Structure 1
Amino acid sequence: MRQVTPLTEGWILRHPDGTGDALPASVPGCVHTDLLAAGLIPDPFLGRNETEVAWVGRREWTYETELTAGAGPHEQTDLVFDGLDTVAEILLDGRPLGRTRNMHRSYRFDVTGLSGRLTVRFASAYAEAEAVRGRLGERPGAYAEPYQYLRKMACSFGWDWGPTLVTAGIWRPVRLERWSTARIARVRPLVTVEDGVGQIELAVDVERSRVEAPLTLEASAGGVRARARIDGTAGTVRLRVPDVRLWWPRGYGEQPLYDVELTLSHGDEALDAWRRRTGFRTVELDTSADAHGTGFTLVVNGERLFARGVNWIPDDVFPSRITRERYRHRLEQAAGAGVDLVRVWGGGIYEDEDFYDACDELGLLVWQDFPFACAAYPEEQPLRGEVEAEARENVVRLMPHPSLVLWNGNNENLWGFRDWDWEQGLAGDSWGEGYYLGVLPRVVAELDPTRPYTAGSPWSGSWRHHPNDPAHGTHHSWEVWNRADYADYRRDVPRFVAEFGWQAPPAHATLRRALPGEDPAPDSPGMLHHQKAEDGNGKLERGLARHFAVPEGDFDRWHYLTQVNQARAVAAGVEHWRSHWPVCAGTVVWQLNDCWPVTSWAAIDGDGREKPLYHELRRLYADRLLTVRADGDGLVVAAVNQSAEDWRGTLRLRRMSVDGAPIAEAAPALDAGGRTVAVVEVPVELLPDGPGEFLVADADGVRAWHFPAPDREIPYPRPEFEVALAPDGITVTARTLVRDLLLQADRLDPGARADRGLVTLLPGEEVTIGVRGWKTPDPDTARSALYCVEPTR
């Protein structure tokens, strides 16, 4: 049987010119984390230290260890790297074993009988990228850094939410594999289901050391076994599993997973084994034309879905630090917010198996971008061959995962070609179209025909329509935030909104940790350094001024209001678009997570703390949602029912004054069938008359509010409420209208977490807020951490 020996110990790191002492190195890891561990660089996440470590990405680095492949009972020994970041030369006792130039691939070298000093010498990613640019010519991109010239995580060169920390290192595991006669080189599992019968076709490639040896394959899953012979270096074994239980997205059913085992044998001797878990389900992408344009609807097991999604970026700018437990926790946070789809964005990486395993278990659908983002990518060598090789490897690697439902060619590059002044400047040079409309769909069709492919996000389906046409395919809504108010989300109904969002700063405790010694202000040095978006603070200020009186010199108030504005902005979009199902078939919020402490669009900040947006997503992505929207000169209440059960009952509508006095009330019937949206007209006598009135709608514990004016025009009463301790939290009782009450639990203790975010209370109503990690509960301290909307002075 193949023997595996991890190579995790005894590594050192040095600069290849011999200057400086050798440092202990962690493998997997990267240069930055090793320098941090040795105390040779400051934490780049703190203050403005990022600029002080910029030199690291400009230098060459060498990893070394002693390797003993040695003689033994096995015929061959391979040195296997699961990931090298990025341009490297591998040597054994000075003898070259090979060169690499792609972070997204694995590499294997025959070291049979060899021993000696193993050296992995990394070139500067900058030097390599600039050399490729010099040979192939300039290509436009959203940022000045040369990330499109090599196959590396693009956002390590910085983004509008991320630091510029250009990494190098052995970022995924490395090992020795010893084997004899033959080994399993690749398994391509095609998993389908039809009429309750699951079918698994395992296409197996083998590598042989003895050509003449007869080989057999034996596979099992769900209590079923099958055998096949290997002729040459390839074979196929098929399993038919009767009465399989279907794998469903969360909220639609359970997530049964089946163990699949494959053994390669020579006679009675087992030579190698392959084991994975998979699930049985069907997936389609309906892009048919209709009266509204061109659709984009995911269909799983025949069920048409409104996708409740979030965009995922690498959870750490140093991805080797992301553990299985960290993946699981972050994805559990996503599931806890009602999310059922996670889009792995194209400026990052193909994530580790642990990510997809967690999605399989949690019922989170995965939309996987190929790693291309916001730039024109050359299609000549050396890039073209690397692109196809990485695509082939990763498509096959991720095929077992039932959570993976969509391959996407790129992020915003088709749009960029049309709208970002690329076309004229390129003057006919290649820019990536051949990847997205040629290489990648060909690879997916050949290797993974069980899953749909789309050429890009956004993409209208063909050049006959603008790439970002909201009526066709996927749409990115960035006029809002960049130039327009979030009320403009309600102007149209895209078929599928794959990106939209609004910024807010991270939690108070996150800022305090990230900006040591600084008294933060919107424009303080550290705050500005941790704001990477172009004119980010200006957009925050303008967006705030449309709704609130912007506080002058009161950072705590500014911090609270910008977080309120973020939650309200995303709510405006999701409520509107969900209410127009099935024309709109999904929203993917930009973004779930951060890779460091920063002002950004994330719902969970760089220290893992939930912003108010996170808790708002739990309301917005719940199976049942009420929202009030304009309809001509009047209003309607849309009851969104994404559960399978009918939602029937009474809708309580109340027109009220902001001083708490009821003006009029009605109780129309509510009847929303499963997976449908019901619309109820608001009677004329319940329409609010001016900024001093509002409408509230209630049904079965679900509530919607409609205030007809921005907050700065509403004559709110001064909020009055009482605070009392409750078991594991506090209870707040309102004496007046209290709008967008928020307990910032991290102000009580950096480790404290609240179980809810913004809540609006009518006079006499109360809410209990659970708090974990609060060491010394006290009602007065709790009151100091409570914020709400106040009347304009």
Structure 2
Amino acid sequence: MKRKLLYTLMACLSLWNVRANDTSEIVLLNQGWMFSQSGTDKWMTATVPGTVHQDLLAHQLLPNPFFGTNEQKIQWVENEDWEYKTTFTVTEEQLSRGAASLVFEGLDTYANVYLNGALLLKADNMFLGYSIPVKEVLHKGENRLHIFFRSPIKETLPQWASNGFDYPADNDHLDKKLSIFTRKAPYSYGWDWGIRMVTSGIWRPAYLRFYDVATIDDYHVKQLSLTDQRAEVSNELEINSILSEQTEAEVVVSYSLKNGEPVTKKKTVTLNPGINKIKIPVEVDKPVRWMPNGWGEPTLYDFTAQVVCQGKTIASDHHRIGLRTIRLVNEKDEHGESYFFEVNGIPMFAKGANFIPNDILLPTMTDERYATLFRDIKEANMNVIRVWGGGTYEDNRFYDLADENGILIWQDFMFGCTTYPADPTFLKRVSDEVDYNIKRLRNHACLAMWCGNNEILEGLKYWGWQSRYTPEVYEEFYRNYDKLFRGLLPAKVKEWDEGRSYIHTSPYFSSWGRPDSWNIGDSHNWGIWYGKKTFESSDTEIGRFQSEFGFESFPEMKTIATFASPEDYEIESEVMTAHQKSTQGNALIRTYMERDFIVPEKFEDFVYVGLVLHGQGMRYCFEAHRRNRPYCMGTLYWQLNDSWPVVSWSSIDYYGNWKALHYQAKRAFAPLIINPIHENGNLNVYLLSDKLEDSSDMTLDMRLMDFKGKKLLQKSAKVAVAANTSAKVFGCALDEWADEAQRKECYLLLSLKDRQGKEITRDIHYFLPTKDLNLPQTTVNSKLKVQDGRCEVTLSASKLAKDIFVQIPYQGARFTDNFFDLLPGETRKIVITSPEIKKGITPEITIKHIRETY
């Protein structure tokens, strides 16, 4: 029952095209569904929105696909056809309305829709919504709706057979590469971090809509100009009149800030039968700008459009609009070609990550999970998220939350890591898909740019595809590329979202090829990881905008325990291998660990040290990129999240647990940070600022401490950094701090203080890799204070406890801090929140630090 109610709530909240306060009537079709494997006539209850995998799991007809090696036991589902059916009642009053539409916001993917014996639709695109006129097909009383989902595997096998070759879709985990023929989320076919679960089902809400006279089919709030004095906005509507003759109506548009008085403008229009395009300009005096996270408030205006006929509001629509300017500056300069976002006229350093779908079963995403996701993004001081092209165009809730939290969205179209066909049928599907999604998303303040694809041009040039295909096929790949990404997509962006930046591919140039590629556009730097280069290589191999780079780690043990048994706790066990989709992943983790850490013998310790390695290595890269601004103006790491419990590049695991990387990203992305670095035998200290005001009249306090807390040396300097820059503020020879022997026994504590002596930020610097430090054995003392939903943990130690990791066995528990160094004599208080924490019950908390692993 709770599950049904949850899906009802999700459906209600996600109806992006439901108009409020008008005379239309919405009937949700989320109850009474049954499903069956085609040909069996064995009908069982189903959940809508949902997928066949979710329904089979609910009836215990599939094993938990995440556990052990069960992924292989669910593959049969993709080869079968599935049927869904329901009945619903229509009243005489509803039938008397002027029109009725059956709306599907998402059908996955090949689906024949039948209503009362009529074939209404042959769907063939997961990324497309459908609205079908059905008044003439509806009956008073009971109506029968039946959907036949054809297997996406069987559907495309004849196309594959006639093709003559396999496309280079190497992430498609089947010997026959079928995914490229289907407009369906590519990651569901498998990826180098992803389970293969090729779904079918009614994956987004379905409903009936009854209405009279007309509907608003599209409402574009188009910003024409913006200054501090005035914003010019065009309210552009497509009004679909169902009447057979002209009729008079009044179109009313209004806007207001939250809790403010609305400003209204009216226009009398003559509606002709069919589509009517209406434009109503308005001016906003002294507009309050939408600002990205870290720069100010993401102010949103409420814009509403209404169609009034004979005193009744027959149709309405609403958007929350941010007034701002965003452009991708990609211009020739003294270095090559720039690549950065300019927001409200100010160059912005992009701090963020690449986003993949948050679940392999997309309909399981709840409002709570979306809200938690953006809380995680905002708390880590991010300002840009890239929606990557191997997943899906996200739910409107995603973009609403990005608007509300000041997070810019780099939006890929859904093409990634392989070439695609460009036959007329395929191009027509893509054309319909991009029409639908550009119109759906273009009103969002967060939307910063469109990108044609992920890594396809790089693959064509540098991944060895030329040697796998005949010259004729290879040349066809290029022709198809141009049709899709240099032809169709930019034309559609210009048609429906004119003024928004479009780039045909990412990376703009590949670091695999041209020696000057670091100087031009955005880069995917996989020299770290695949190229086995050190994290320190990011000091010199710096792109203008790092839009992909990353490193792997295991999730923490409580997540591993959800998919593995203790007997599987070995790096290369069958189960661990099933949850490590990168063929060389575990070996690379060990290779990098050997460089900087003493490799533990115990599996649990290996997992923990790998998390520490992941976080510290990536933080080094983030700070190198920020330090080298304005040459480099962006750092988007791979990847933010997981779609199932797995070993991956993510900073947040499937259950919402922050890995060490997310804590380190939060530190490295803070508005003002201290960045010490070894350069040519010197220790140089930089201040990195993304603040919009200068930071001056500050003191940099530097204390050399041994691991027992004794102060060995102290220096200080008056420092300043200009707004939105990085600057070297101090430097001296390493030998002035400590000789080679001393460097094994000490650390440098750097503290930035304001004129009143209050600490603004701090950093702890070690002179050597962790494996070369003579870390002391020490005991961490802890005190707990437990309330409902909250546990306060106070930690102390007499000697340095490096890389403290506090664990609690509750999935998704939130920590105010974790993976930090506890300094000798210091008291640190962290707060853990989780609904599973109960007053009077002491939670099982464990504390680990790096010296305990050897």
TM-score range, shorter chain: over 0.9
Letter in 2 for 1:599: V
Q: Which residue of 2 aligns with 1:505?
A: 554
Q: State the shift of 1:135 in Å.
A: 4.0
Q: Which residue of 2 aligns with 1:105?
A: 128
From the superposition, tell whether residues 129 and 540 of structure 1 become closer, same or farther in structure 2 (CA, over 3 Å): farther
Does the CA contact (< 8 Å) of 2:707 and 2:824 recur in 1? no
Letter in 2 for 1:527: M
Does the CA contact (< 8 Å) of 1:192 and 1:281 recur in 2? no
Q: Which residue of 2 aligns with 1:396?
A: 439
Matched, 1:538 2:587: yes
From the superposition, tell whether residues 204 and 467 of structure 1 become closer, same or farther in structure 2 (CA, over 3 Å): farther
Could you tell me how far apart the structure 1 residues matched to 2:151 and 2:556 are? 35
Matched, 1:611 2:669: no
Summarize the alignment of residues 679-698 of structure 1 with structure 2, pairs less than 5 Å apart: 679-684=728-733, 685-690=735-740, 691-692=743-744, 693-698=746-751
Does the CA contact (< 8 Å) of 2:253 and 2:266 recur in 1? yes
Q: State the shift of 1:48 in Å.
A: 1.9
Q: Which residue of 2 aligns with 1:210?
A: 243
Q: 2:493 aligns with which of 428, 440, 444?
A: 444
Q: 1:736 aligns with which of 796, 799, 804?
A: 799
Q: Which residue of 1 aligns with 2:99?
A: 76
Could you tell me how far apart the structure 2 residues matched to 1:601 and 1:468 are? 27
From the superposition, tell whether residues 438 and 650 of structure 1 become closer, same or farther in structure 2 (CA, over 3 Å): same
Could you tell me how far apart the structure 2 residues matched to 1:393 and 1:530 are? 36
Q: State the shift of 1:57 in Å.
A: 1.1
* Structure 1 unaligned spans of 5+: none
Q: 1:306 aligns with which of 349, 362, 382?
A: 349
Summarize the alignment of residues 126-525 of structure 1 with structure 2, pairs less than 5 Å apart: 126-137=153-164, 138-145=166-173, 146-195=178-227, 196-216=229-249, 217-222=251-256, 223-228=262-267, 229-230=269-270, 232=272, 233=275, 234-423=277-466, 425=469, 426-430=473-477, 431-460=480-509, 466=514, 469-482=517-530, 483-516=532-565, 518-525=567-574
Q: Which residue of 2 aligns with 1:547?
A: 596
Does the CA contact (< 8 Å) of 1:324 and 1:355 recur in 2? no
From the superposition, tell whether residues 427 and 618 of structure 1 become closer, same or farther in structure 2 (CA, over 3 Å): closer
From the superposition, tell whether residues 403 and 751 of structure 1 become closer, same or farther in structure 2 (CA, over 3 Å): closer
Q: Which residue of 1 aligns with 2:14?
A: none
Does the CA contact (< 8 Å) of 2:358 and 2:641 recur in 1? yes
Q: In structure 2, the residue corresponding to 1:509 is in which secondary structure? A: helix
Letter in 2 for 1:238: P
* Structure 2 unaligned spans of 5+: 1-22, 257-261, 754-758
Letter in 2 for 1:111: V
Q: Which residue of 1 aligns with 2:16?
A: none
Summarize the alignment of residues 572-651 of structure 1 with structure 2, pairs less than 5 Å apart: 572-648=620-696, 649-651=698-700
Letter in 1 for 2:475: G
Q: Deviations over 1:424-449 (max 9, x none)?
A: 52322234332222211111112112
Matched, 1:3 2:21: no
Could you tell me how far apart the structure 2 residues matched to 1:448 and 1:683 are? 53
Letter in 1 for 2:807: Q
Q: State the shift of 1:661 in Å.
A: 4.8
Does the CA contact (< 8 Å) of 1:224 and 1:240 recur in 2? no
Q: 2:145 aligns with which of 113, 118, 122?
A: 118
Does the CA contact (< 8 Å) of 1:457 and 1:475 recur in 2? yes
Does the CA contact (< 8 Å) of 2:350 and 2:634 recur in 1? yes
From the superposition, tell whether residues 421 and 273 of structure 1 become closer, same or farther in structure 2 (CA, over 3 Å): same
TM normalised by structure 1 equals 0.94
Q: State the shift of 1:54 in Å.
A: 0.9
Could you tell me how far apart the structure 1 residues matched to 2:833 and 2:458 are? 45
Could you tell me how far apart the structure 2 residues matched to 1:81 and 1:316 are? 21
Could you tell me how far apart the structure 2 residues matched to 1:266 and 1:131 are? 52
Could you tell me how far apart the structure 2 residues matched to 1:69 and 1:113 are? 13
Q: In structure 2, the residue corresponding to 1:513 is in which secondary structure? A: coil
Q: State the shift of 1:518 in Å.
A: 4.5
Q: Which residue of 2 aligns with 1:63?
A: 84
Q: Which residue of 2 aligns with 1:568?
A: 616
TM normalised by structure 2 equals 0.87
Q: Which residue of 2 aligns with 1:85?
A: 108
Q: State the shift of 1:459 in Å.
A: 0.9
Could you tell me how far apart the structure 2 residues matched to 1:627 and 1:129 are? 53
From the superposition, tell whether residues 791 and 60 of structure 1 become closer, same or farther in structure 2 (CA, over 3 Å): closer
Does the CA contact (< 8 Å) of 1:407 and 1:452 recur in 2? yes
Q: Deviations over 1:558-610 (max 9, x none)?
A: 11100000101111100111111221111112111111111111111111111
Could you tell me how far apart the structure 2 residues matched to 1:741 and 1:167 are? 41
Q: Which residue of 1 aligns with 2:5?
A: none
Sequence identity (%)? 30
Q: Which moved more, 1:320-329 or 1:136-145?
A: 136-145
Does the CA contact (< 8 Å) of 1:414 and 1:433 recur in 2? no
Could you tell me how far apart the structure 1 residues matched to 2:577 and 2:90 are? 52
Q: State the shift of 1:47 in Å.
A: 2.1
Does the CA contact (< 8 Å) of 1:308 and 1:587 recur in 2? yes
Could you tell me how far apart the structure 2 residues matched to 1:791 and 1:169 are? 49
From the superposition, tell whether residues 677 and 751 of structure 1 become closer, same or farther in structure 2 (CA, over 3 Å): closer
Q: Which moved more, 1:542-551 or 1:269-278?
A: 269-278
Letter in 1 for 2:417: C
Q: State the shift of 1:655 in Å.
A: 3.9
From the superposition, tell whether residues 244 and 467 of structure 1 become closer, same or farther in structure 2 (CA, over 3 Å): farther
Q: State the shift of 1:119 in Å.
A: 1.6
Q: State the shift of 1:132 in Å.
A: 3.2
Q: State the shift of 1:230 in Å.
A: 4.8
Letter in 1 for 2:161: G
CA-atom RMSD in angstroms: 2.5
Q: State the shift of 1:640 in Å.
A: 0.8
From the superposition, tell whether residues 32 and 630 of structure 1 become closer, same or farther in structure 2 (CA, over 3 Å): same
Does the CA contact (< 8 Å) of 2:116 and 2:137 recur in 1? no
Letter in 2 for 1:45: F
Q: State the shift of 1:513 in Å.
A: 2.2
Could you tell me how far apart the structure 2 residues matched to 1:500 and 1:710 are? 22
Letter in 1 for 2:492: V
Q: State the shift of 1:243 in Å.
A: 2.0
Q: Deviations over 1:717-774 (max 9, x none)?
A: 323443334674232223223221221233xx55754321122243322322223345
Q: Which moved more, 1:559-568 or 1:215-224?
A: 215-224
From the superposition, tell whether residues 230 and 507 of structure 1 become closer, same or farther in structure 2 (CA, over 3 Å): farther
From the superposition, tell whether residues 720 and 513 of structure 1 become closer, same or farther in structure 2 (CA, over 3 Å): same
Could you tell me how far apart the structure 2 residues matched to 1:738 and 1:54 are? 47
Does the CA contact (< 8 Å) of 1:408 and 1:453 recur in 2? yes
Could you tell me how far apart the structure 1 residues matched to 2:233 and 2:509 are? 34
Q: In structure 1, the residue corresponding to 2:850 is in which secondary structure? A: coil
Q: Deviations over 1:170-208 (max 9, x none)?
A: 101111122333222222331244223233323222333
Could you tell me how far apart the structure 1 residues matched to 2:567 and 2:641 are? 25
Letter in 2 for 1:225: T
Q: In structure 1, the residue corresponding to 2:528 is in which secondary structure? A: helix
Q: 1:710 aligns with which of 760, 769, 772?
A: 769
Q: Which residue of 2 aligns with 1:556?
A: 604
**How many residues of Structure 1 are paired with residues of Structure 2 in the alignment?**
786
From the superposition, tell whether residues 354 and 752 of structure 1 become closer, same or farther in structure 2 (CA, over 3 Å): closer
From the superposition, tell whether residues 678 and 468 of structure 1 become closer, same or farther in structure 2 (CA, over 3 Å): closer
